[in-house]
Structure 1
Amino acid sequence: MQRLTRLSLILAASALPVATMPTVVLAQPQTLDFGDDAGDYTNDGECDDMRFSGPGMTDTPLLEEDIGHDATDCRNAFFRGELSYNSGYRAVGNIEWGGDNGDYANDGECDDMRFTGEGMTDTPLLTEDLGNDATDCRSAFMRGKLQVNPLFVKTGGIDFGDDKGDFAKDGECDDLRFSGIGMTDTPLLGDDVGHDASDCRKAFDEGRLQWRGEMVYLDASGD
């Protein structure tokens, strides 16, 4: 995947339509439900449910339609210690993946900064790709190649992050998860998310910022 110039990484905050930013909702952890044996590959001694990983899995391609439909094989392998459960899959039904409207959709790499992991692109992330690379991100997530980005998880408190950004400690907040008079008036970069903590925390505590992350976060409360 190629980017044209550094300028293509920049998206002004005013261009971010808050009302249309995607949400991702995490369900609360629940008792493991292996499902049933309604799949086409049940009772063959191999687990075909992509919610799991390990030596007890089949070595053939995994299909979404087998999720929760190979219970006996997966249960037996799990209790033999041959499988582990990928807990992120408890959320898959509640993720609003968005669409494929991004410039880098359908290229086999996830460009949505709400996620992290080996299934992500290795090029800089753009705010305009939030919720616009659904097929790539959903496929990688289902294969266990992505996890939710903790910077977009609201767990009852705001994670301001750190001060590793290029524009940290300049008296202006550069983190696009916020809005208000405490924000910088220069274009916002995706790679500054969570990396201007001191500036953003100070402005937030002074009432000069509002948290807008609820438009893009993964709500671990399940509300």
Structure 2
Amino acid sequence: MSVSVNGVLYVIGGQTEAGGDGPFVNTVYAFDPKHGSWSTRTPMPTARSGGGAAVVNGRIYVAGGRPPRGNDFAVYDPATDRWELLPSLPTQRNHLGMVSVGSKIYVLGGRTGAGFDTPTLDKVEVYDVTTGNWSTATPMLKIRGGVNAIVAYGFIHVFGGEGNAQAANGVFPDHDVYDPVRNSWIHLPDMPTPVHGVTGAAFLNGLIHLPGGGTSSGGTSGSTIHQTYRPASSYP
């Protein structure tokens, strides 16, 4: 899991070997590009991989992970270098999409087991930082794990994902967008190259960037593909 806060990149948790059984780690590393240096920060309360991370008001929220840590939810404050446990993610999951819009955190899709061939989800669960409560939102248009989620102009774009039984490579080409105000989804034109597991997606200078990603189900099909999409600022 990785996010940036005030120009510093934080790399959180993960695992040291391939496969669904770990070993998992709870380490937190911070990279400051101004000085070109790494530092070690306070570890997460639990070791996990395959979760998601999002930032609200300068604090880093980390949810989910491979079993048995799929319900874990905690927040890290870079200013104090401290972690706090939060109410559990209602539906345990990993390889999920996670973004923030305003004071709300959205956890989208994912899979329920350690491996890529385990059941996937369409559930969208929302955590309100202001109230400290979880709620549900309209499910995604398709059940899928390993989704690539990014926010642009207040809309949540979800690209690709794995678990597609209709495709030989098991990967979805779908591009759907969620409107948090209307609590509704629409389908947009498919990705040119279907991928899952893009962990470095970003919205920069009017473009959504999707670098790399797996082109077939599982963790052995990484790519150097760099796809971009220019989102609209509003949708009907």
Tell me which interval the TM-score lies in, with the shorter structure as reference length: under 0.3
* Higher relative contact order, structure no. (Cα contacts within 8 Å, ≥ 6 residues apart): 1
Return the index of the structure with the highest Cα Rg. 1
Bigger share in helix: 1
TM-score (norm 2): 0.24
Bigger share in strand: 2
TM-score (norm 1): 0.25
